[in-house]
Structure 1
């Protein structure tokens, strides 16, 4: 059989895979997180996406928990922290925490990681350092500042997680309104009397206002610890 006209493709002409690195693993994990959420993230799936074996990933990360911390920290690079030399400490603190909330909310799956991961990367540390510095400016020191920073970041994370979960499930303010409108006033007199207030808190335009209100409540408690 004459194969003189057959085109021979050299393996060397194929595009080479990008060398495996922690950065490549983290970026791939983030893309899978955006597609499938935190529950769908696994070392096996990441390895498959990178066309390698799961054992190869452990050269760069100890386990999935450590990788989650890297993925979270990579995403937090997007958080824009206000210049502390401009404005007052409380406004800067709010802007920083709200910027953090928006990054968690707008990047699918990241809010879930923030609620279940111990952050320790450079961007996570920079955010915590910024919060602690603003609390220090406000006269909040020592244990009150340390525990307060943790509480403030947890508050922002939980709000972002709630919003992201509602978006993912398609829950709207209309469904909440319908649920409150159908309440039996005799059985739930307090909820019925305040249903407009509950519904107003869920409106998109009121999200920032409600977040600021909750932050102020926490801050009032922290400031009392200094007196």
Structure 2
């Protein structure tokens, strides 16, 4: 008897992706089409997100793109949440985790976070799939393990190191989602939602005197690129950790 989708999911959590038995196609052309596999489902889902954004991703949308019915997908994935887990797992599997080095642990943390950010930004809005989801697959756990090992090598005690992994992951997810949403608005027709720095400076300058600090420091409030702010915040989180080894 073939394993159920739930059993396949449990196997992935223990040993990676597990077996991926092709599902038969439904309909008169079933014998002439390429069999559906977990990899085919995930590849198709990534294509939808890349072209249309994460909000467009549904099981029915994937099934339509594969020219099949949703029931064919459920032979491999339990539900949409399971698909989300597979997507994030695929991205996490691409992260290059260095051997923890006490001499450059800070740069290693920044590198891992930057890689994860760039993976998320390839697929607009996909970091939503990582919110409020416990890292339970081998691929996502691998990234958490790598971050934790680097922090401990940097002199951080296990408890603050564990919370730092959570904080760093949450920030990377939120940053990636904000950038994706802003880019979508900029490329769309809603020009009033995202404004230029010049427009922000004009708005701040027009504020009443009940906003003295905002008016006085408008240049600082609007300075830097989104990447500058990312680097600053990651550095702030790292440098605030108790017991961290300082680097030149």
The interval holding the TM-score normalised by the smaller chain is: 0.7 to 0.9
Corresponding position of 1:182: 203
Do the aligned residues in 1 keep the contact of 2:102 with 2:154 (CA within 8 Å)?
no
Compute the RMSD of aligned alpha carbons.
2.9
Q: Does 1:192 align with 2:192?
A: no
What TM-score does the superposition give when structure 1 sets the normalisation length? Answer: 0.80
Corresponding position of 1:4: none
Q: Does 1:104 align with 2:120?
A: yes
Q: Does 1:64 align with 2:80?
A: yes
Alignment map for 1:127-206 (pairs within 5 Å):
127-170=143-186, 175-183=196-204, 184-201=207-224, 203=225
Out of 46, 55, 62, the position equivalent to 1:46 is 62
Alignment map for 1:6-85 (pairs within 5 Å):
16-84=32-100
SS at match of 2:223: helix
Measured in 1, the distance between the counterparts of 2:122 and 2:42 equals 18
Cα deviation, 1:103-162, whole Å, max 9, x if unaligned, reads 112332323323354443333222111100011112223322222111111112211222
Do the aligned residues in 1 keep the contact of 2:89 with 2:137 (CA within 8 Å)?
yes
Do the aligned residues in 2 keep the contact of 1:68 with 1:117 (CA within 8 Å)?
no
SS at match of 2:136: coil
Greater per-residue helix proportion: 1
Kindly state the Cα deviation for residue 16 of structure 1 after the two structures are TM-superposed: 2.6
Do the aligned residues in 2 keep the contact of 1:34 with 1:109 (CA within 8 Å)?
no
Measured in 2, the distance between the counterparts of 1:137 and 1:154 equals 22
Q: Does 1:213 align with 2:232?
A: yes
Deviates more, 1:217-226 or 1:184-193: 217-226
Structure 1, unmatched stretches of 5+, are 1-12
Deviates more, 1:117-126 or 1:98-107: 117-126
- Matched residues, number: 211
Q: Alpha carbons of 1:109 and 1:216: their partners in 2 closer, same or farther (altered >3 Å)?
A: closer
Measured in 1, the distance between the counterparts of 2:84 and 2:229 equals 29
Do the aligned residues in 1 keep the contact of 2:42 with 2:83 (CA within 8 Å)?
yes
Q: Alpha carbons of 1:148 and 1:14: their partners in 2 closer, same or farther (altered >3 Å)?
A: closer
Q: Alpha carbons of 1:135 and 1:85: their partners in 2 closer, same or farther (altered >3 Å)?
A: closer
- Structure with max Cα Rg: 1
SS at match of 1:200: coil
What TM-score does the superposition give when structure 2 sets the normalisation length? Answer: 0.74
